[in-house]
Structure 1
Amino acid sequence: MELDEAYANAAYIPGGDTYPARWAKAAASFREKTLCELDLPYGESARQKLDLFHPPRLAKGLVVFVHGGYWLMSDKSDWSHLAAGPLAQGWAVAMPSYDLCPAVRITDIGNQIAAAIAFAAGRVLGPIRLTGHSAGGQLVARMTARRSGARWQARVAKVVPISPLGDLAPLMLTSMNADLKLDTAEVLAESPIYLPKPQMPVTVWVGADERPAFLEQSRILARAWTCERIVAPDRHHFDVIEPLCDPDSALTAALLAP
């Protein structure tokens, strides 16, 4: 399709095909040595489960990380190690899985993420900070819009979409749309650029070495929301999230800053 290359990542990253196995190995190792509750159900389907990582003392609050994969692939279990930075700073971290397209629509996934946050918020007191990568960036950005009955929204203190998809319209021109099934109505409803400007602080984060399409996606979202945009030097779409492993990184600081 017309824009398939624009949104291809692995082919343009040296060793891109090796990252999934590396992520899975690092995540499994992290779970083995960390206080965590695994596979907590927040919904009815098999994939509506989350992992909750706990600091050794009473948590300062809750961080929720939502994984990417174009709403078509991946699982919470590949990203556990990214909880290390916030966890070392005293924050609990929730990582949900969710149903994937084409079994559900992107709209349905957004509703599942809201349910996951509500569940985790019921387990952890204090402020909530949301972050997500790529499609997960779209999902956490979508959480800034008011939801009826979502009492947890008043606790959201910061949102950091990482390499987010702020405008879903271009994806209608990719072969992925055979499974995403995006139409104009859903694009308008689910694209963060069309949402009201959030009432909480937002920092859009993107790697300087990402594909031009992702640099533009981050740019238009930051412009639409008049919010901070950080372009991380020497980072591509796969390693842009790695600083979440470091409690002292600029990315972790942006997420947790008062």
Structure 2
Amino acid sequence: MIKLSVNINKVATLRNARGGNVPNVLKVAQDCQLFGADGITVHPRPDERHIRYDDVYALRPLITTEFNIEGYPSPKFIDLVCKIKPDQVTLVPDPPEAITSNAGWDTIRYAGFLKEIVGEFQAHNIRVSIFVDTNLENIRNAAFTETDRVELYTEPYANMYPSSPEKALAPFLEAAQIARSVGLGVNAGHDLNLENLNFMAKNIPWLAEVSIGHALISDALYLGLETAIQKYKSLIV
């Protein structure tokens, strides 16, 4: 069964636009779990433009499913993760000014850097996932970092899906097969939505987890949060 982790960054973006505490990020996280989400994902950035570091500390005791923290492994981020001890940390190569994650790691160039960080998190019993694209050498080399999983960066799949689902899926299926062959678990995320999620889930049934934020929160504006979560869940079971 593929798990759905709901990224609540966009809820924090809306809160921060006005100040105060509406919408309440902590309440939304609890509601997501109540409505069927298998986990909660947050991505604190250095400028705290959406999820703040204080939010992460406040969320920790409220997460009863799975807590996934994404981010670039800066010293501040590493310290946060080691203190919070989430179930999973997802390492992304984003520079501080990035609007959103838009590339995977070069696991060959940064092999030593990543292996050291992976080891530090695993010493705290935290599962580690590395954000990668469909470059097969990067995926094979990810195994040498001793990470537990990779997360496939799926924006190219989402962009091509409307015109050619099979062509869009092909490199991701091959990437997932290679990851599986070298002993890595496979997550996926970025621009997955109600239109394209089911096709990927049916064709890569051993996906462990999908992390979805922007599309799901946007759909919730029309459908309501509970209905949106249930619709996404129905596409991956």
TM-score bucket (shorter structure): 0.3 to 0.5
TM-score, scaled relative to structure 2:
0.38
Query: Greater share of helix residues, 1 or 2?
Result: 2
TM-score, scaled relative to structure 1:
0.35
